[in-house]
Amino acid sequence: MGLYHNRIVVKVGTSTLTNDLGQNDLRSFDRLSCVLSDVQNMGYEIILVSSGAIAAGKNKLRMKAQPGTMRMKQAAAAVGQCSIMYLYDKFFNDYDKTIAQILLNAEDIEIEEKKENLISTFDTLLDMGIIPVVNENDSVSYTEIESEERLFGDNDMLSAVVAVLCRASKLIILSDIDGFYDRDPRLYPDAKLIESITEIDENVHSLAGGAGSRRGTGGMKTKLQAAALATSQGIDTIVTNGKNPASMYEIIKGGKAGTLFTATGAHV
């Protein structure tokens, strides 16, 4: 079966949803909700994969530092999911949109019956004009929080898995920088943005470096892994700056915004 050419998966990270103090960035929530609602009004189906639960829970619980133990991280995630969904519901409602929450574990993808039910749920929600908001179920799952070799990585890999599962035509990963550079722009002011990558080879991987923002769990390494999975299934993947979600207008027109990883395989 082919891809749905009007179906887009958008992944937003913790660094986009929080400010420099680690607090919820309400303008980011508002801008993102506005743009995604507008893009849906243009005839596209939108699935939002959102990080940020642990950070939001930390803020709600007034923790002065990041939770250190597994039990505290999972407690923060459980509280934070409520905060995140409250904010999304509030801002999407301002633009006359209905959202739904989907929390995933690895077995939801790996067990065939669960996977089929999940696909059916996504399709039904999208048919009804509802925007699914997806996250890994951190309150009961430890894979995203601690494991080094994990199915979803941070939510970059989760977004690629969802894009493949739902047969989306595009995966847009909103980062805390403008795209993929030839070296770390935080350390090298002369770093150059790479606008298009047609093959994710060893040379590209060597440019990825380590982790990104201190508020999130991922960097360019996990975004490359996500892009490799999505593009191998025929899904164009774009990494762009989450603080400027309006760049999505340019992306859906086929223009340049961030870094485009062009699809290399056909979806089967």
Per-residue pLDDT of 178-201, as tens digits, reads 999 988 888 888 989 999 999 998
pTM: 0.90
Max Cα-Cα span within the chain = 50
Average pLDDT over residues 13-34: 94
- Cα–Cα distances in angstroms (integers) from residue 153 to residues 118, 157, 226, in the given order: 20, 6, 9
Is pLDDT above 70 for 44?
yes
pLDDT at 84: 95
Inter-residue contact 152 to 161 (CB < 8 Å): yes
First vs last C-alpha separation in the chain: 6
| Three-state secondary structure string covering the chain | CCCEEEEEEEEECHHHHECCCCCECHHHHHHHHHHHHHHHHCCCEEEEEECCHHHHHHHHCCCCCCCCCHHHHHHHHHHHHHHHHHHHHHHHHHCCCCEEEEEECHHHHHCHHHHHHHHHHHHHHHHCCCEEEEEECCCCCCCCCCCCCCCCCCHHHHHHHHHHHCCEEEEEEEECCCCCECCCCCCCCCCCECCEECCCCHHHHHHCCCECCCCCCCEHHHHHHHHHHHHHCCCEEEEEECCCCCHHHHHHCCCCCCEEECCCCCCC
Model confidence at 26: pLDDT above 90: yes
pLDDT of 143 > 80? The answer is no
- C-alpha triplet 22, 141, 147: angle, nearest 5°: 75
How does the average pLDDT of the chain come out, rounded? 88
Q: Encode pLDDT of 81-134 as tens digits.
A: 999 999 999 999 999 999 999 998 878 888 899 999 999 999 999 999 999 999
More confident residue, 166 or 108: 166
Q: What is the pLDDT of residue 216?
A: 42
> 215 pLDDT exceeds 50?
no
Of the pLDDT bands very low, low, confident and very high (cuts 50, 70, 90), residue 220 is confident
CA–CA gap between residue 190 and residue 96 (Å, rounded): 43
Would the pLDDT of 148 be above 50? no
Domains by residue range for the chain, with CATH: 4-261 (3.40.1160.10)
Q: Does the structure show a pLDDT above 90 at 160?
A: yes
**pLDDT band per the 50, 70, 90 thresholds, residue 166:** very high
